[in-house]
């Protein structure tokens, strides 16, 4: 059996192409980048997406608790501070998060296949859907 790797396994830079769909079904296309860096005990993911001409930034600080579980905090100027966890099953990362001082919450599934990842996510306000997204990530470095 080959050693399966997931998105957080290695330092890498990724090009992203996304579609965000709001609760009315309106589709917003986005492009962006994600840079994952391993330094000592910390993993950083600096990412941005350009949605309709506006750049949205996320900077994740990720700490590994075990081989299969990570905790993270992310500063997003538009949403606020997200906190959550990543759970790993072979090449798949399952993420769940909340946004501090709000009822915003969501989840994301990231499936890695060699130098490409497929990502599916949702954002809720309490129990009400805000949007969903799907992203294709292609490794560039």
Task: State pLDDT tens for residues 101-124.
Answer: 999 999 999 999 999 999 999 999
Q: What is the pLDDT of residue 66?
A: 95
Q: Which fold has domain 12-21+28-139?
A: Lipocalin (2.40.128)
pLDDT tens digit sequence for 28-37: 999 999 999 9
Please name the residues in contact with 70: beta carbons below 8 A apart, sequence gap of 6 or more.
Answer: 8, 43, 62, 63, 64, 85, 86, 88
pLDDT tens digit sequence for 78-103: 889 999 999 999 999 999 999 999 99
CB atoms within 10 A of CB 116: 12
| Structure tokens belonging to residue 104 | 């915003």
Cα distances (angstroms) measured from residue 78 to each of 40, 115, 118, 125: 29, 29, 24, 14
pLDDT classification of 141: cutoffs 50, 70, 90: very high
| Structure tokens belonging to residue 42 | 């910390």
Please state, in angstroms and rounded to a whole number, the distance separating the CA atoms of residues 74 and 76. Answer: 6
Q: What is the pLDDT of residue 78?
A: 86
Gap between the terminal Cα atoms of the chain = 26
pLDDT tens digit sequence for 21-59: 999 999 999 999 999 999 988 999 999 999 999 999 999
Q: What is the pLDDT of residue 4?
A: 84
pTM beyond 0.75, yes or no: yes
Block residue for tokens 């309106």 = 26
Q: What is the pLDDT of residue 1?
A: 39
Chain center to CA of 55: 16
β-sheet bridge partners, residue 55? 50
CB atoms within 10 A of CB 97: 20
């Amino acid at each position: 059996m080959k050693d399966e790797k997931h998105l957080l396994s290695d330092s890498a830079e990724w090009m992203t192409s996304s579609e965000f769909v709001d609760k009315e079904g309106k589709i917003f296309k986005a492009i962006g980048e994600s840079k994952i860096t391993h330094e000592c005990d910390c993993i950083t993911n600096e990412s941005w997406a350009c949605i309709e001409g506006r750049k949205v930034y996320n900077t994740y600080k990720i700490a590994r608790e075990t081989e299969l579980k990570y905790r993270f905090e992310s500063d997003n100027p538009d949403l606020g501070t997200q906190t959550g966890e990543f759970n790993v099953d072979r090449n798949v990362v399952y993420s769940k998060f909340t946004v501090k001082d709000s009822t915003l919450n969501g989840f994301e599934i990231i499936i890695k296949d060699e130098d490409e990842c497929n990502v599916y996510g949702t954002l809720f306000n309490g129990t009400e859907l805000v949007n969903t997204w799907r992203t294709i990530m292609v490794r560039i470095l």
